[in-house]
Amino acid sequence: MSEPRHTLAVIVGSTREGRFAPVIANWFTRRAETHAHIDVDVIDLDTVRPYELRGGTEAYEAFAKRVDRADAFVVITPEYNHSFPAPLKHAIDLLHPQWQAKPVGFVSYGGISGGLRAVEQLRLVFAELHATTVRETVSFPLAGNLFDERGELHDPAPAATAADALLKQLTWWAVALREARLARPYGA
């Protein structure tokens, strides 16, 4: 049985100068694109510049449409001071109904915890927005040590296995919730 197509928005949550996020995002995006039923849309907050978005502007509407069009999300987040980046929180808070009744997964990186403390806080934020977070995650502790200078993992098998498990869960939820939203529009 082939999987139904769906759109996965990969949100790159770091905007810091010298950020490691593009390495993680490029690796994950390449992995997601090996799943033929997934259409990937990378939303890099460094390009979107969420602090500059104002309701009613073309840039705001473009961001809102991309989030609304997605059937599922993967948030790529570092952990800064046991939490996630402020621009990511701001971008999430700009919208509300566009997140509702959609699944969210996480790819995190950071120090020894691999960004998992940031993920735990993001789960609370997305719960408030009526989004469904999935259990499976991909985590990179001390990420700079795991990748080579070309952005390739020294040992790709564990992360690939974790990413495939995450994408499998997201696919199930993306399709199930899309069908549910079509049958009965979600109203919180």
- The per-residue pLDDT for range 131-171, each reduced to its tens digit, is 999 999 999 999 999 999 999 999 999 999 999 999 999 99
Radius of gyration of the chain (CA): 16
* CA–CA dist 160, 158 (Å, integer): 5
- As a whole-number percent, the residues of the chain with pLDDT over 70 amount to 99
The mean pLDDT value of the chain amounts to 96
- The per-residue pLDDT for range 22-38, each reduced to its tens digit, is 999 999 999 999 999 99
Q: Which two tokens stand for residue 129?
A: 């927005």
Q: Report residue 28 CA to chain centroid gap.
A: 10
- CB within 8 Å of 161: residues ≥ 6 apart: none
Which pLDDT band holds residue 1 (cuts at 50, 70, 90)? Answer: low
Q: Is pLDDT of 188 > 70?
A: no
pTM: 0.96
- The per-residue pLDDT for range 104-139, each reduced to its tens digit, is 999 999 999 999 999 999 999 999 999 999 999 999
Task: Give the SS3 label for residue 62.
Answer: helix
CB of 103 closer than 8 Å to CB of 174: yes
From residue 14, alpha-carbon distances to 46, 84, 140 in Å are: 7, 9, 15
**Which among 70, 69, 47, 77 is positioned nearest to 59, based on CA atoms?**
47
